[in-house]
Amino acid sequence: MRLFQRYAARICRLRAVFDEHLYAVVTVAIASSAAGLLAASLIASRDTLVRLIALSACGAVVYVGYRVRPKARLRRAARIGLRRGEFHVVYQPIVDTRTRHCVGVEALLRWGHPKFGAGGPGLFIGELEGTRLLSALTCFVLREANNALSQPPFPQHWHISVNICARHLMEVCFVEDICGSAGPMLERLVLELTERSCVERSPRVVTALSHMKQRGVRLSLDDFGTGFSNLDLLADFRFDYVKVDRRFLAMRGEARMQFLKSVAALVHALGAKVVVEGVETAAEHDVVQHLGIDLAQGHWHGKPMTVEQLRAFALATASINTLHDRTGTEHGA
Ligand code: C2E
Ligand code: MG
Ligand code: MG
């Protein structure tokens, strides 16, 4: 009874915090209590075999509980982290390949956990996929970017790209969430959608995206070539940008040239611009420029940076661009 009361109190504490965690705890708690009762009655038995079975059942329950909890723990920690201000946003420049001027930035999420340290989205986005928390994090990214980039020295013509998760797109509140959080930044907002986000081409997704387009928001198809039904998607949604995943730039030889050239021709025929991700060297920049790729993003042009670093970057590039415009000379990034 005492065991049950302890779990019940714990469940009540968690209910307001996180639904999935509640589910996991309820499962483990009920299973543990049931197994505990069963084990207690069976262990009382004198039969060794019965005792062995009872102990293995307990072991199995503990193992299942252990396996279930890390994911739920991460989600709970992220929810608490969002409230405690453990998340921040970094910005990576997107440049025009011809002029090498920065024309926009992609806002990327970072989590600085007090115990586990700094973490890129690869460590947690996948685990949070499909939860409402990821929608809340998107709103956080939009608010942060709007607050950070709406003042000089940040050029107001820079577009701001934000990654959108599939579940958020399906929610009734999607348009309201984006418009409310982006504020005046809405007109220079680019929503980056992956193929996975659009797979569900439900009327709701189509309506939500056309609402966004009516408000001047641009759409970008992220990680092109890494999922499936790419060509379908290009035909169904009017994307403004198509971002080619960096693995295609990393290909060697003629295959890379042919692939990038064909993608550029296709995307241009549909009236969109091509962005190539993962430009890490001057030679790679030359390749994408030579192939008529419109925009590039990569470490060679600038790694993801904090808002302070981006401020210094904006000031430095503004003076280089002025010099370039006055003298008509080329400059490296
Ligand atoms: P993505 O949207 O394709 O973002 C580009 C990723 O490539 C970023 O990794 C960026 O740091 C990395 N990158 C850019 N240039 C280079 C390069 O030259 N070399 C190499 N090796 N890497 C480069 P990051 O920040 O770790 O983000 C990974 C993915 O996490 C993103 O891929 C995006 O799908 C997701 N993500 C990031 N922030 C958010 C967010 O706020 N919301 C959602 N839903 N997803 C996010
Ligand atoms: Mg992206
Ligand atoms: Mg990408």
Q: In angstroms, what CA-CA distances link 222 with 194, 218, 234?
A: 5, 13, 12
Give me the pLDDT at residue 333, please.
37
Give me the pLDDT at residue 67, please.
60
For residue 189, give the nearest of 109, 125, 105 by alpha carbon.
Answer: 105
Q: Which atom of ligand 1 is nearest to the CA of 108?
A: 38
pLDDT in tens, 160-217: 999 999 889 999 999 999 999 999 999 999 999 987 777 677 888 999 999 999 999 9
Q: Which atom of ligand 1 is nearest to the CA of 299?
A: 18
Give me the pLDDT at residue 234, please.
84
Give me the pLDDT at residue 330, please.
41
Lowest mean pLDDT among 57-61, 120-124, 128-132, 177-181: 57-61
Residue of minimum CA distance from atom 10 in ligand 1: 304
Residue of minimum CA distance from atom 8 in ligand 1: 108
Q: Separation of 29 CA from ligand 2 center, angstroms?
A: 39
CB of 165 closer than 6 angstroms to any ligand 1 atom? yes
User: Which comes out higher in pLDDT, residue 58 or 242?
Assistant: 242
pLDDT in tens, 65-119: 656 567 788 899 999 999 999 999 999 999 999 999 999 999 999 999 887 777 8
H or E element at residue 22? helix 19-43
Provide the token pair at 333: 């990034």
- Domains present along the chain, CATH in parentheses: 2-68 (no CATH), 83-327 (3.20.20.450)
H or E element at residue 224? strand 218-224
Q: Which amino acid is at 225?
A: G
Are 194 and 155 spatial neighbours (Cβ–Cβ below 8 Å)? no
CB of 197 closer than 6 angstroms to any ligand 1 atom? no
Average pLDDT over residues 310-326: 78
Are 96 and 295 spatial neighbours (Cβ–Cβ below 8 Å)? yes
Task: Give me Rg for the CA atoms of the chain.
Answer: 25
* Mean pLDDT for all residues in the chain: 83
What are the DSSP calls for 112-174, one per residue?
EETTTEEE-GGGTHHHHTTSHHHHHHHHHHHHHHHHHHSSTTS-TT-EEEEE--HHHHHSTTH
Residue of minimum CA distance from atom 19 in ligand 1: 278
Q: Is 264 exposed, middle or buried (0-12, 13-18, 19+ CB in 10 A)?
A: buried
Residue of minimum CA distance from atom 11 in ligand 1: 304
Q: Which amino acid is at 172?
A: V
Q: Separation of 108 CA from ligand 1 center, angstroms?
A: 6
CB of 225 closer than 6 angstroms to any ligand 1 atom? no
Ligand in closest contact with the CA of 137:
1
Q: Separation of 144 CA from ligand 3 center, angstroms?
A: 21
User: Which comes out higher in pLDDT, residue 44 or 109?
Assistant: 109
Give me the pLDDT at residue 260, please.
95
> Is it the case that residue 133 has pLDDT exceeding 60?
yes
Q: Which atom of ligand 1 is nearest to the CA of 297?
A: 15
Are 230 and 195 spatial neighbours (Cβ–Cβ below 8 Å)? yes
CB of 136 closer than 6 angstroms to any ligand 1 atom? no
Give me the pLDDT at residue 324, please.
60
Q: E strands, 40-101, where?
A: 87-96
CB of 192 closer than 6 angstroms to any ligand 1 atom? yes
CB of 183 closer than 6 angstroms to any ligand 1 atom? no
